[in-house]
């Protein structure tokens, strides 16, 4: 056994508290010698007295030590860009949705006047058309907002919001079709029938589910 390196390493181990131990200093010791010392009888005590590698590292606690390396800890600018695009689109979705709610409510309130006078019908049709256009723009921004990879299933109020979309989206499309049908029938001097007759019911379903979808995003349950 070469005694000189062993003694040097042992001295380094023992004197490290005085000299200011560093991880680099420890690494500087010939690893072969170090392992030889650790195999000496009774060396467990010596090694136990020496600070652990991590303790010796002092403030060098790092994410690597925690196993937070690789993909979970790596910056992903593409993901950030996707998230920002998604947020932009959903903010527009939110604003357009609020804007759509105004003509939608107004159209509901003018529904009765549409039955009695041509001007009332015109106003109701105009409000309904505005609501439909804004609604479709709202839906577009929601549908086109990018999905985030690995985001998992929809949870919480978002899930209810999305479920309600399956009600108000077809209902809104049907409302428009039924509204045109009813208008044409009334303008021809006939009573609204078939799909046109269902216009108030379908429109109310669309409006209620749409407002409910807005509400779940605002109110805590």
Partner 1 sequence: MRPIPAAVLAAFCSLAGLSAAASDWILERSELTYTVTHPLHTVRGSSRQARGKGICDAAGCRFLVAAPVKSFDSGDSNRDLHMLEATRGGKFPVVSVRGTLKRLPERADKAFEAEVSVEFAGRTAVYPRVRFEIVETSSATARVHGVLPCGLKEYEIKPPSLLWIPIRDHIPVSVDTFWRLQETPTAAKPPN
Q: Are 33 and 6 in contact (CB under 8 A)?
A: yes
Q: Please report, as residue ranges, which positions from 35 to 64 form the binding site for partner 1 (by CB under 8 A).
A: 48-55, 57-59, 61-63
Interface residue with partner 1 among 106, 137, 157, 186 (CB under 8 A) is 157
Q: How far is the CB of 65 from partner 1 (least distance, A)?
A: 6
Q: Are 183 and 145 in contact (CB under 8 A)?
A: no
Compute the distance between CA of residue 62 and CA of residue 68 in angstroms, rounded to an integer. Answer: 9
Q: How far is CA 37 from the centre of its chain?
A: 55
Binders of partner 1: how many residues, by CB under 8 A? 55
Interface residue with partner 1 among 73, 102, 143, 163 (CB under 8 A) is 73
What is the per-residue binding string for partner 1 in 131-150, x denoting contact by CB under 8 A?
-----------------x--
Compute the distance between CA of residue 107 and CA of residue 123 in angstroms, rounded to an integer. Answer: 8
Q: How far is the CB of 43 from partner 1 (least distance, A)?
A: 13
Using rule CB under 8 A, residue 68 touches partner 1? yes
Q: Rounded to the nearest 5 degrees, what angle is found at the Cα of 86, between the Cα atoms of 82 and 91? A: 150
Using rule CB under 8 A, residue 70 touches partner 1? no
Q: Show the DSSP H helices in 39-197 as ranges.
A: 43-49, 53-56, 77-109, 111-116, 118-143, 157-187, 194-197
Q: Please report, as residue ranges, which positions from 78 to 117 form the binding site for partner 1 (by CB under 8 A).
A: 78-84, 86-87, 90, 98
Q: Are 181 and 199 in contact (CB under 8 A)?
A: yes
Binding site for partner 1 (CB under 8 A): 14, 16-18, 21, 48-55, 57-59, 61-63, 65-68, 72-84, 86-87, 90, 98, 148, 151-159, 161, 217-220
């Amino acid at each position: 056994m070469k005694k000189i390196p062993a003694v040097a390493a042992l001295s380094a181990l023992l004197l490290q508290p005085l000299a200011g131990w560093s991880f680099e200093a420890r690494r500087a010791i010939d690893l072969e010698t170090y392992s030889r010392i650790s195999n000496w009888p009774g060396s467990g005590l010596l090694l136990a007295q020496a600070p652990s590698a991590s303790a010796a590292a002092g403030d060098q606690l790092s994410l690597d030590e925690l196993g937070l390396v690789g993909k979970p800890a790596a910056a992903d600018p593409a993901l950030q860009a996707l998230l920002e695009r998604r947020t932009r689109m959903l903010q527009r979705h939110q604003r357009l949705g609020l804007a759509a709610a105004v003509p939608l409510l107004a159209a509901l309130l003018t529904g009765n006047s549409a039955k009695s006078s041509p001007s009332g019908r015109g106003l109701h049709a105009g409000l309904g058309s505005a609501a439909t256009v804004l609604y479709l723009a709202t839906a577009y921004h929601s549908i086109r907002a990018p999905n985030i990879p690995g985001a998992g299933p929809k949870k919480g109020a978002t899930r209810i919001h999305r479920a309600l979309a399956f009600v108000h989206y077809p209902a809104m499309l049907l409302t428009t079709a039924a509204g045109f049908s009813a208008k044409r029938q009334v303008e021809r001097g006939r009573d609204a029938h078939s799909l046109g007759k269902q216009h108030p019911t379908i429109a109310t379903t669309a409006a209620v589910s749409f407002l409910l979808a807005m509400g779940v995003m605002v109110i805590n349950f």
